[in-house]
Every structure is written in C-alpha cells, then in structure tokens.
Structure 1
Amino acid sequence: MTEISQKTKQLATLCFSLFLIRLGFRAFGYDLLYHNPNDPYGISDLIEVALALIYLVSLGLCILHALWILLRNRDRGALEASALLALCAVQWHSYDYLHHLAASLSIP
C-alpha cells in the first residue's frame, strides 16, 4: 500500500467518522443537555457548531489532499482521489436532509 492511499484512507475515515458523530449527537445527545427557555442558544448548540467547524476543517483537508493527488500523482491515485471527492460531495449534499431526519428521531 502506498503512502498516498494510506493517507487517503485515513482522511476518508476521519471525515466519515466526524459526519456520523455529528448526526449521532443531533439524534441522541442534543436534547439531553440543559437549555434555558429564555436563551436563544444552549450548550448543545455550541457543541453542534464546534463539531461542524471540526468537520469542515477535515472536509477541507480531504478536498485539498484529493486535489493534490490529482495534480501531482495523476497516474497513481486518480481513482482514490476521485472517490475521496465523491465521498465529500455526497456527505456535503446529504447532511442537511439527514440532520433534519436525526432531529426528528431525537429522544427527549
């Protein structure tokens, strides 16, 4: 296994794990934390924003890594880079729908 494919696998795993952690927190942890009815935002909203920022950084790293592979090592890792970009695109476009679905499945 080349160094490029191992880095690609690690970044894809990191990005997908953070994607699932965000959805899992929204479904199972968001409503468990205290929220003052008079405040517009609670601690769970701040945690959700922090998870979103961490996820966006990892998504950006995945995209930059895939573009680097496509520009520098086109012959060796084009399929891996394309798969990584496809994973990022699918996660980006499906998150809004899955976030609302996870919120509706939330356990009070």
Structure 2
Amino acid sequence: MTEISRKTIQLATLCFSLFLLRLGFRAFGYDQLYHNPNEPYGISDLIEGMLTLIYLVSLGLCIMHALRVLLRHWDLGAFGASALLALCAAQWHSYDYLHHLAASLSNP
C-alpha cells in the first residue's frame, strides 16, 4: 500500500468518524446538557458548533488531498481519491436529512 493510499484511507476514516460523532451527539447528547430557557443558545449548541467546525476542516482537508492526488498522482491513487470525493459529497448532501432524523430520535 502506498503512502498516498494510506493517507487517503486515514482521511476518509477521520471524516466519516466525525460525521458519525456529530450525528451521535445530536441524537443522544444534545438534550442531556442543561439549557437555560431564557437564552437562545446553550452549551449543547456551542459543542455542536465546535464539532461542525472541526468536521468542516477535516472535510476541506479530504477534498484538498483528493484533488491533489487526482491532479498530481493520478497513477498512484485515482480510485481512492475519487471514492474520497464521493464520500465527502454523500456526507455533505445527506447531513441535513440525517440531522433532523437524529434530532427526532432525541425527543421521545
């Protein structure tokens, strides 16, 4: 396995893990933390915002890595880079629906 393929797999694993962590927090941890009824945002919103920021940075790293592989090292990892871009696109487009689904799981 080449270094490029290993890095592609590591980035895909990181991005997918953060994606699942965000959904898991929304489904099971968001309502467990205290929220003052007089304030528009609580600690849960701040944690969710930080998780989103970390996820977006990792998503950007995945996209930059995939584009670099596709433009410079086509022969070494084109399939992995294409799969990484497909994973990023699928996560980006499915998150809104899955976020609402996870929010409905947290409210019994």
TM-score (norm 1): 0.98
Corresponding residue for residue 53 of structure 2: 53
Task: Spell out the pairing of 1:41-80 with structure 2 (5 A cutoff).
Answer: 41-80=41-80
Q: Is the Cα contact below 8 Å between 1:28 and 1:107 reproduced in 2?
A: no
Q: Distance in 1 between matches of 2:100 and 2:21?
A: 15
Unpaired runs of at least 5, structure 2: none
Gaps of 5+ in 1: none
Whether contact under 8 Å (1:23, 1:98) holds in the other structure is: yes
2:12 corresponds to: 12
Per the alignment, in what secondary structure is the counterpart of residue 36 of structure 1?
Answer: coil
Q: CA deviation at 1:107?
A: 5.0
Question: Does residue 1:84 correspond to 2:84, yes or no?
Answer: yes
Alignment length (residue pairs): 108
Structure 2 counterpart SS, 1:105: helix
Checking the alignment, whether the CA contact within 8 Å between 1:66 and 1:81 is kept in structure 2 is yes
- Cα distance in 2 for partners of 1:75, 1:8 equals 14
Question: 1:30-50, CA deviations, whole angstroms, 9 ceiling, x for partnerless residues?
Answer: 000000000000000000000
> 2:104 corresponds to which residue?
104
User: 2-side partners of 1:98 and 1:107: how far apart?
Assistant: 15
Q: 2:2 & 2:65 partners in 1: Cα distance?
A: 15
Identity of aligned residues (%): 83
**Letter paired with 1:43:** I
CA distance in 2 between partners of 1:103 and 1:80 (Å): 33
Given that residues 34 and 43 in structure 1 are in contact (C-alpha distance below 8 angstroms), is that contact kept between their aligned partners in structure 2?
A: yes
1:27-42 correspondence to structure 2 within 5 Å: 27-42=27-42
